[in-house]
Amino acid sequence: FLPVKEDGSPGTCGYPENPSVIDRKTMFSLLKQLQPTLTEAEFEARFKRLDHDASGVIEFDEFVRWVYDDEVEVVGSAEKVKRTFEELADDMDVDLKLIMYVYDCFKFELGSQVDEYPKTCAAIPKEQACALAGILVKNLTRKKFDRYWEMIDVDQKAAVTFDDFCELLDFEDMPEEILAKYNSED
């Protein structure tokens, strides 16, 4: 899937100085071959997280990290193994303290429901998730939330567990005081 060189020879990856990339369309095509039932919404849910620099392409280092972290699984797959809090923090590129703060907020929204993430997971409905996301993230529009929701709620359960709720958040858009308190290196 690397572009052929001008002389007709196979393409190469010039990592790290000049790494090759896989564009969104090619990546979707590759994954579709591995999982024919993959929907575009399922793919977009993971592509967003894979593309760490939001360049719109998967660079070599992002691809390697994806394979290494076994991120080949997509939303909606059967028997999904829940990521640990540490894995969520790593995947979201935030401090574990911030993930735990968001989890405390999530558990508060659950009220009397019991959640022992990642073992036993309770879910909050869409409207409640939207309200909480709107509190946690600055300038989150309903349109943007709905777009994220469509990518996450591929099984149309109308509710999300904590790990999927994290996928709805743009952590970098959280208020500065929250980031300063929970996402700083000690």
pLDDT winner (highest mean) among 21-25, 56-60, 160-164:
160-164
pLDDT value, residue 11: 67
Question: In the Cβ-directed half-sphere of 5, how many Cα atoms lie within 13 Å?
Answer: 8
Tell me what percent of the residues of the chain surpass a pLDDT of 90: 41
75 pLDDT more than 60: no
Q: Mean pLDDT throughout 168-181?
A: 93
What are the DSSP calls for 103-146, one per residue?
A: HHHHHHHHTT---BTTTB---EEHHHHHHHHHHHSTT--HHHHH
Residues in the chain: 186
pLDDT value, residue 74: 45
What is the pLDDT confidence band of residue 77, given thresholds at 50, 70 and 90?
A: very low
pLDDT winner (highest mean) among 5-19, 25-39, 52-66, 131-145:
131-145
Q: Mean pLDDT throughout 53-65?
A: 78
pLDDT value, residue 80: 60
Q: Mean pLDDT throughout 91-102?
A: 94
Tokens encoding 183: 């996402």
pTM: 0.62
What is the pLDDT confidence band of residue 62, given thresholds at 50, 70 and 90?
A: confident
End-to-end Cα spacing for the chain: 42
What is the pLDDT confidence band of residue 160, given thresholds at 50, 70 and 90?
A: very high
Average confidence score pLDDT of the chain: 82
pLDDT value, residue 67: 63
